[in-house]
Structure 1
Amino acid sequence: MKHVSILIPQGHCSLVNIEGTHQILSEVNILCTRMGKAPLFDIRMVGLSKEASQRDGLFTIKPDCLLHEVVKTDLIIIPAMHGHFQKIVENNQPFIPWILQQYNNGAEVASLCIGSFFLAATGLLTGKPCATHWRFANEFRAMYPDVQLVDDKIITDGEGIYTSGGAYSYLNLLVYMIEKYAGRDIAILIAKAFMIDIDRMLQSPFIIFQGQKSHEDETIKKAQEYIEKNFEEKITVDQLADTFAVGRRSLERRFKKATCNTVTEYIQRVKIEAAKKDLESGRKNVLEVMYDVGYSDVKAFRSIFKKITGLSPIEYRNKYNKELLVID
């Protein structure tokens, strides 16, 4: 039987991550029993105190056991933790050496959503790929530049460490792990029982590009604003460099450092975000939307759109526009 430790942090954390993980893994045990097999998981909620208050006392979690009582575990689940990061680490510091010790003794570790920030604080993600909620990708990159953030992915799996994308995509990671531990048949049964879209690997269709302006380079902020106001036009790097009196190489270097995108990538993402909004709510066909956001090459537009969203323009429109469930 695999011993599973669901961490119960101090401070505001995701009740959904905790309860959902407990419920789904418990259901795996029920299915195994019905099939004449032994239960697969010994599920424990592991905390630092006998009670953990949530949402200003609206909820209280009572862990099954305290951290020092768990000598050996096989899988550690880190839920999303909300609030000021440094305070989160301070309040939950005892978990860090314990996680490292358990990992070095063979345990696997999984972070759910922005639980990746706490997992990264252990150092276990250094040099490794990691997923997190797309809304916090910029903050994560700034805080952990040595981690390979893949903000378009829902799941990463490497060297006994798992991470998941944002919010309810933790369900996809659970199904993925259940398949590894219990087999495809049980994973499919769980996916059907909880109506989870099995094998969904990308969070790209859900990303809303909002620009990366939490930096101090005012010239680059002005360049970003210029792109956002004039995205329908053909904008070049040389044009931006001339407009803001910056050398081309300097502009490209500073832009990449400030936004984590090249100038070309930023222009593309602004154009595609505008196209997404038109496809979601308008009655224009794909070609009209393409021209409106400044593209004239159909193949290039479709290629860039799919690269950024994970869907073709038609697939995206059919997914999000209720009025136009047709194919061009």
Structure 2
Amino acid sequence: MIKLKNIRLLIVNYPGSMQSAIIGLEEMLMLANQLVAKFTAYSQHQSEINSRRKSMLNNFFEVNIIDRDIWLSQSAQKKTTLHAKAHVIVLPPSIEGEYFVNPETSLIQWLVQQHQQGSIICSACAGSFVIAAAGLLNHRAATTHWDLAGMFAKQFPQVKVNSERILINDGDIITAGGLMSWIDLGLELVAQFTQPAIMRQLGKYLIVDTGPREQSYYQSFKPILDHGDKIILRTQHFIQANYQQALPITKLAQQCHLTERTFLRHFVTATGFKPNAYIQRLRIQKACDLLETTVFTFEVISHKVGYEDTSACRKAFVKITGLTPKNFKRRFSRTADR
């Protein structure tokens, strides 16, 4: 007989949480349970089940949603429910308010306690802020929504944030980026606690891609403009209007009446990028926009955004987006097949 184990998974319904993600993850794991049951029943009827098959995991997910009143309650019964050991805890995305930026101490303390007891702590999108606030991501790699990455890096400089990744599984901590990354997180948990074959079957049933992908495919370059440095802001406006031209640091520094060294220090502090990297990302973003909205060839586009060498533009494009121009257009452009 194949023994099944219940995996106690708690989804934290903090204020502003994306309710469709909470219910969606619960239903995804319910469907995974159905596939596990079918797979187990099939295996038990086979005349020969090798030792490797016997040792593979076939677990059921027991999903519970934890509401705010539970971690704020003084009720002994609710505290017992809260402090019972969980195998997995999930912090979902946020779509309203900024609770995730400053979560309550009681929630933070509970997460730390559960982690110390062996729980795997997971997040999707803004949920990573809550884990970081608990100090559980210090000196570790993590991801979050690409549009929140700048704020995350500023609030938690001790965390190695990588917003290009859509999911980072660091064993006891799993972070996913993007509002819909709860799907990727759910598939990862199914693969980890059951079998990759069940995860792939679940993906086919849901008609979602179970292959590896990156958040860099979807992110857009949005320069930081509210940093308060008026001199650098004027430089950013100048770059925005003249990004097709050659803009060496010497020229930009002279425009600001600063030495190159001083200008570089101010620019990196304000924007998070060195000038050349900033200009490159701006140009590639413009190239993405043209690929999505026009029928220009990439050679034409590369010249329009300021590159003399198409191959250099292509190399930068792949490095930043994770896709070739052809694959990017196929994925995102409505004109790709025209």
TM-score normalised by length of structure 2 = 0.87
Match of 2:89 among 69, 76, 79: 76
Q: Using the TM superposition, give the Cα deviation of residue 232 of structure 1 relative to its aligned residue in structure 2, in angstroms.
A: 0.7
Report matched runs for 1:1-328 at 5 Å: 1-9=6-14, 11-36=15-40, 39-49=59-69, 66=78, 68-70=80-82, 71-81=84-94, 82-85=96-99, 88-90=102-104, 93-325=105-337
Distance 1:181 1:50 in 2: 27
| Secondary structure, aligned partner of 2:224 | coil
Aligned residues between the structures = 311
**Which 10-residue stretch deviates more, 258-267 or 194-203?**
194-203
Distance 1:46 1:85 in 2: 16
Counting aligned pairs with the same residue, the percent is 26
The one-letter amino acid of 1:84's match is E
Task: Please give the root-mean-square deviation of Cα atoms over the aligned residues, in Å.
Answer: 2.0
Distance 1:35 1:242 in 2: 69
Higher relative contact order (CA 8 A, sep 6+): 2
Q: Unaligned regions of 5+ residues in structure 2, if any?
A: 1-5, 42-57
Distance 2:139 2:270 in 1: 21
Distance 1:135 1:67 in 2: 36
| Secondary structure, aligned partner of 2:174 | strand
Q: Unaligned regions of 5+ residues in structure 1, if any?
A: 53-64
Q: Using the TM superposition, give the Cα deviation of residue 143 of structure 1 relative to its aligned residue in structure 2, in angstroms.
A: 1.1
The one-letter amino acid of 1:143's match is Q
User: Hey, what does 1:60 align to over in structure 2?
Assistant: none
Distance 1:124 1:291 in 2: 46
Contact (CA 8 Å) 2:165, 2:216: kept in 1 or not? yes
Contact (CA 8 Å) 2:16, 2:99: kept in 1 or not? no
Distance 1:78 1:322 in 2: 35
Q: Using the TM superposition, give the Cα deviation of residue 201 of structure 1 relative to its aligned residue in structure 2, in angstroms.
A: 3.1
The one-letter amino acid of 1:167's match is L
Contact (CA 8 Å) 2:100, 2:129: kept in 1 or not? no
Residues 141 and 214 of structure 1, relative CA distance in 2, 3 Å threshold: farther
Q: Using the TM superposition, give the Cα deviation of residue 72 of structure 1 relative to its aligned residue in structure 2, in angstroms.
A: 0.8
Contact (CA 8 Å) 1:80, 1:115: kept in 2 or not? yes
Residues 241 and 51 of structure 1, relative CA distance in 2, 3 Å threshold: closer
Q: Using the TM superposition, give the Cα deviation of residue 154 of structure 1 relative to its aligned residue in structure 2, in angstroms.
A: 0.3
Q: Using the TM superposition, give the Cα deviation of residue 49 of structure 1 relative to its aligned residue in structure 2, in angstroms.
A: 2.1
Distance 1:66 1:296 in 2: 65
Residues 185 and 67 of structure 1, relative CA distance in 2, 3 Å threshold: farther
Residue deviations 1:104-137 (CA, integer Å, cap 9, x gap): 1111000111111111110101111111111111
Distance 1:177 1:236 in 2: 48
Contact (CA 8 Å) 2:92, 2:124: kept in 1 or not? yes
Q: Using the TM superposition, give the Cα deviation of residue 39 of structure 1 relative to its aligned residue in structure 2, in angstroms.
A: 4.8
Residue deviations 1:81-112 (CA, integer Å, cap 9, x gap): 3313477513xx32211111111111100011
**Which 10-residue stretch deviates more, 175-184 or 38-47?**
38-47
| Secondary structure, aligned partner of 1:49 | helix
The one-letter amino acid of 1:229's match is A
The one-letter amino acid of 2:62's match is D
Distance 1:21 1:297 in 2: 46
Distance 2:137 2:70 in 1: 30
TM-score normalised by length of structure 1 = 0.89
Distance 1:285 1:67 in 2: 62
Contact (CA 8 Å) 1:172, 1:199: kept in 2 or not? no
Distance 1:176 1:199 in 2: 11
User: Hey, what does 1:55 align to over in structure 2?
Assistant: none
Q: Using the TM superposition, give the Cα deviation of residue 199 of structure 1 relative to its aligned residue in structure 2, in angstroms.
A: 2.6
The one-letter amino acid of 1:7's match is V
